[in-house]
Amino acid sequence: MESLIGKKAPVFSTDAVINGGEFVENFSLEQYIGKKEVIFFFYPLDFTFVCPTELLAFQAKLEEFEKRNVAVVGCSVDSKFSHWAWLNTDKNDGGIKGVKYPLVADLSKTIAENFGVLAGEYDFTEEGEATFVGAPVAYRGTFLIDKEGVIRHCVVNDLPLGRSIHETLIMVDALQFFEANGEVCPAGWSKGDDGMTATSDGVAEYLTSH
Protein backbone atom coordinates (compact mmCIF):
# COMPACT_ATOMS: atom_id res chain seq x y z
CA MET A 1 0.00 0.00 0.00
CA GLU A 2 1.38 3.39 -0.99
CA SER A 3 1.54 5.71 2.00
CA LEU A 4 -0.81 8.69 2.01
CA ILE A 5 0.95 10.38 4.92
CA GLY A 6 1.58 14.04 4.18
CA LYS A 7 -0.75 14.00 1.19
CA LYS A 8 -4.21 15.42 0.68
CA ALA A 9 -6.93 12.94 1.56
CA PRO A 10 -8.64 11.50 -1.54
CA VAL A 11 -11.78 13.43 -2.42
CA PHE A 12 -15.18 11.76 -2.66
CA SER A 13 -18.85 12.64 -2.68
CA THR A 14 -21.34 9.92 -1.84
CA ASP A 15 -24.39 8.83 0.15
CA ALA A 16 -24.19 8.71 3.93
CA VAL A 17 -26.36 8.30 7.00
CA ILE A 18 -26.00 10.94 9.72
CA ASN A 19 -27.47 11.55 13.16
CA GLY A 20 -28.37 7.90 13.58
CA GLY A 21 -30.81 7.62 10.69
CA GLU A 22 -30.91 10.62 8.33
CA PHE A 23 -29.99 10.04 4.67
CA VAL A 24 -27.83 12.63 2.94
CA GLU A 25 -26.45 12.78 -0.60
CA ASN A 26 -23.10 14.14 -1.74
CA PHE A 27 -21.47 13.70 1.67
CA SER A 28 -17.83 14.81 1.58
CA LEU A 29 -15.00 15.32 4.03
CA GLU A 30 -14.32 18.66 2.37
CA GLN A 31 -17.03 20.19 4.57
CA TYR A 32 -14.58 19.97 7.48
CA ILE A 33 -11.60 21.67 5.80
CA GLY A 34 -10.57 24.78 7.72
CA LYS A 35 -12.89 23.85 10.58
CA LYS A 36 -12.06 20.48 12.13
CA GLU A 37 -9.66 17.58 12.12
CA VAL A 38 -11.28 14.34 11.03
CA ILE A 39 -10.95 10.73 12.12
CA PHE A 40 -12.03 8.83 9.01
CA PHE A 41 -12.16 5.11 9.62
CA PHE A 42 -13.00 2.08 7.50
CA TYR A 43 -14.54 -1.17 8.71
CA PRO A 44 -15.34 -4.32 6.68
CA LEU A 45 -19.12 -4.75 6.87
CA ASP A 46 -22.33 -3.94 8.69
CA PHE A 47 -23.97 -6.69 10.76
CA THR A 48 -20.74 -8.49 11.62
CA PHE A 49 -19.01 -9.38 14.90
CA VAL A 50 -15.96 -7.17 15.52
CA CYS A 51 -17.28 -4.13 13.67
CA PRO A 52 -20.07 -3.19 16.12
CA THR A 53 -17.61 -3.22 19.01
CA GLU A 54 -15.49 -0.65 17.16
CA LEU A 55 -18.35 1.60 16.08
CA LEU A 56 -19.89 1.58 19.55
CA ALA A 57 -16.47 2.27 21.07
CA PHE A 58 -16.09 5.34 18.84
CA GLN A 59 -19.55 6.49 19.92
CA ALA A 60 -18.65 5.98 23.59
CA LYS A 61 -15.67 8.32 23.09
CA LEU A 62 -17.42 10.72 20.70
CA GLU A 63 -17.68 13.44 23.34
CA GLU A 64 -13.90 13.27 23.82
CA PHE A 65 -13.36 13.76 20.08
CA GLU A 66 -15.88 16.59 19.97
CA LYS A 67 -14.13 18.32 22.89
CA ARG A 68 -11.05 18.35 20.68
CA ASN A 69 -13.06 19.72 17.72
CA VAL A 70 -12.58 16.47 15.79
CA ALA A 71 -15.22 14.92 13.52
CA VAL A 72 -15.56 11.13 13.46
CA VAL A 73 -16.73 9.52 10.22
CA GLY A 74 -17.06 5.80 9.46
CA CYS A 75 -17.11 4.06 6.08
CA SER A 76 -17.78 0.59 4.69
CA VAL A 77 -18.73 -0.94 1.35
CA ASP A 78 -22.35 -1.33 2.48
CA SER A 79 -25.26 0.69 1.10
CA LYS A 80 -26.90 3.58 2.90
CA PHE A 81 -29.93 1.33 3.45
CA SER A 82 -27.77 -1.28 5.20
CA HIS A 83 -26.24 1.47 7.36
CA TRP A 84 -29.72 2.75 8.23
CA ALA A 85 -30.94 -0.73 9.17
CA TRP A 86 -27.89 -1.38 11.35
CA LEU A 87 -28.21 2.00 13.04
CA ASN A 88 -31.82 1.13 13.90
CA THR A 89 -31.04 -2.33 15.30
CA ASP A 90 -30.63 -2.68 19.07
CA LYS A 91 -27.19 -3.51 20.45
CA ASN A 92 -28.50 -6.74 21.97
CA ASP A 93 -29.46 -7.85 18.47
CA GLY A 94 -26.07 -7.05 16.94
CA GLY A 95 -26.94 -3.48 15.97
CA ILE A 96 -25.36 -0.11 16.65
CA LYS A 97 -28.38 1.89 17.74
CA GLY A 98 -27.20 5.09 19.38
CA VAL A 99 -24.32 5.79 16.98
CA LYS A 100 -24.69 9.42 15.85
CA TYR A 101 -21.61 10.17 13.71
CA PRO A 102 -21.84 9.83 9.90
CA LEU A 103 -21.51 6.48 8.14
CA VAL A 104 -20.42 6.72 4.50
CA ALA A 105 -21.66 4.25 1.87
CA ASP A 106 -18.89 3.00 -0.45
CA LEU A 107 -20.80 0.54 -2.62
CA SER A 108 -18.43 1.04 -5.55
CA LYS A 109 -15.42 0.34 -3.27
CA THR A 110 -13.63 3.30 -4.86
CA ILE A 111 -13.21 5.21 -1.59
CA ALA A 112 -11.56 2.23 0.09
CA GLU A 113 -9.44 1.68 -3.01
CA ASN A 114 -8.31 5.32 -3.16
CA PHE A 115 -7.38 5.26 0.53
CA GLY A 116 -5.41 2.05 -0.06
CA VAL A 117 -7.41 -0.17 2.30
CA LEU A 118 -9.41 -2.36 -0.07
CA ALA A 119 -8.70 -5.99 0.88
CA GLY A 120 -8.46 -7.19 -2.70
CA GLU A 121 -8.44 -5.94 -6.27
CA TYR A 122 -10.32 -6.15 -9.52
CA ASP A 123 -8.96 -8.44 -12.25
CA PHE A 124 -10.07 -10.25 -15.38
CA THR A 125 -10.45 -13.95 -16.09
CA GLU A 126 -8.94 -15.60 -19.16
CA GLU A 127 -12.33 -15.16 -20.80
CA GLY A 128 -12.13 -11.42 -20.21
CA GLU A 129 -14.78 -11.33 -17.49
CA ALA A 130 -14.33 -8.91 -14.61
CA THR A 131 -13.72 -10.56 -11.25
CA PHE A 132 -12.58 -9.59 -7.77
CA VAL A 133 -9.59 -11.26 -6.16
CA GLY A 134 -9.45 -11.20 -2.38
CA ALA A 135 -12.04 -9.92 0.07
CA PRO A 136 -14.32 -7.23 -1.44
CA VAL A 137 -14.33 -5.21 1.78
CA ALA A 138 -12.12 -2.64 3.48
CA TYR A 139 -9.40 -3.37 6.00
CA ARG A 140 -9.75 -1.62 9.36
CA GLY A 141 -8.05 1.61 8.33
CA THR A 142 -8.00 4.72 10.52
CA PHE A 143 -6.91 8.09 9.13
CA LEU A 144 -6.26 11.33 11.02
CA ILE A 145 -6.83 14.24 8.64
CA ASP A 146 -5.84 17.76 9.66
CA LYS A 147 -7.79 20.98 9.05
CA GLU A 148 -6.04 21.46 5.71
CA GLY A 149 -7.25 18.08 4.50
CA VAL A 150 -3.83 16.43 4.84
CA ILE A 151 -3.44 12.91 6.24
CA ARG A 152 -1.12 13.09 9.27
CA HIS A 153 -1.50 9.60 10.73
CA CYS A 154 -2.91 6.27 9.61
CA VAL A 155 -2.99 2.71 10.88
CA VAL A 156 -4.42 -0.27 9.01
CA ASN A 157 -5.42 -3.52 10.71
CA ASP A 158 -6.17 -6.83 9.05
CA LEU A 159 -9.80 -7.93 9.14
CA PRO A 160 -9.69 -9.98 12.40
CA LEU A 161 -7.89 -7.27 14.41
CA GLY A 162 -9.97 -4.60 16.13
CA ARG A 163 -8.44 -1.15 16.53
CA SER A 164 -7.70 0.91 19.65
CA ILE A 165 -9.84 4.04 20.01
CA HIS A 166 -7.63 5.08 22.94
CA GLU A 167 -4.60 5.12 20.65
CA THR A 168 -6.57 7.17 18.12
CA LEU A 169 -7.28 9.81 20.77
CA ILE A 170 -3.59 9.93 21.68
CA MET A 171 -2.71 10.62 18.04
CA VAL A 172 -5.24 13.45 17.94
CA ASP A 173 -3.75 14.93 21.12
CA ALA A 174 -0.22 14.58 19.74
CA LEU A 175 -1.07 16.39 16.52
CA GLN A 176 -2.87 19.20 18.35
CA PHE A 177 -0.01 19.49 20.86
CA PHE A 178 2.53 19.81 18.05
CA GLU A 179 0.45 22.38 16.20
CA ALA A 180 -0.05 24.45 19.37
CA ASN A 181 3.49 24.25 20.76
CA GLY A 182 5.80 23.34 17.88
CA GLU A 183 7.22 20.50 19.97
CA VAL A 184 7.32 16.88 18.83
CA CYS A 185 5.92 13.93 20.79
CA PRO A 186 8.23 11.06 21.81
CA ALA A 187 7.40 7.38 22.23
CA GLY A 188 4.81 6.73 24.91
CA TRP A 189 3.62 10.35 24.89
CA SER A 190 0.14 11.15 26.17
CA LYS A 191 -1.75 14.35 26.89
CA GLY A 192 -0.13 16.28 29.73
CA ASP A 193 3.38 14.95 29.06
CA ASP A 194 6.29 17.13 27.97
CA GLY A 195 7.19 17.39 24.32
CA MET A 196 10.60 17.68 22.73
CA THR A 197 12.21 20.39 20.66
CA ALA A 198 13.23 19.09 17.25
CA THR A 199 16.98 19.46 17.83
CA SER A 200 19.67 17.13 19.11
CA ASP A 201 19.94 19.22 22.28
CA GLY A 202 16.23 18.87 22.85
CA VAL A 203 16.46 15.09 22.49
CA ALA A 204 19.35 14.91 24.92
CA GLU A 205 17.53 17.10 27.43
CA TYR A 206 14.39 14.92 27.23
CA LEU A 207 16.30 11.68 27.64
CA THR A 208 18.26 13.05 30.60
CA SER A 209 15.11 14.19 32.39
CA HIS A 210 13.30 10.87 31.78
* 62 Cβ contact partners less than 8 Å away, ≥ 6 residues apart: 72, 100, 101
> Strand pairing of 103-105 and 70-76?
parallel
Using CA atoms, how far apart are residues 3 and 63, in angstroms rounded to an integer?
A: 30
- CA angle (175 as vertex; 172, 178 as ends), nearest 5: 145
What is the sign, positive or negative, of the torsion defined by CA atoms of 114, 58, 15, 133?
A: positive
Phi-psi region of 60 (alpha: psi -120 to 50; beta: other; left: phi over 0): alpha
Q: What is the DSSP letter of 9?
A: P
Q: What angle do the packed helices 50-60 and 165-181 form, to 10 degrees?
A: 40
Q: Does the active-site annotation cover 185?
A: no
As annotated, the active-site residues are 51
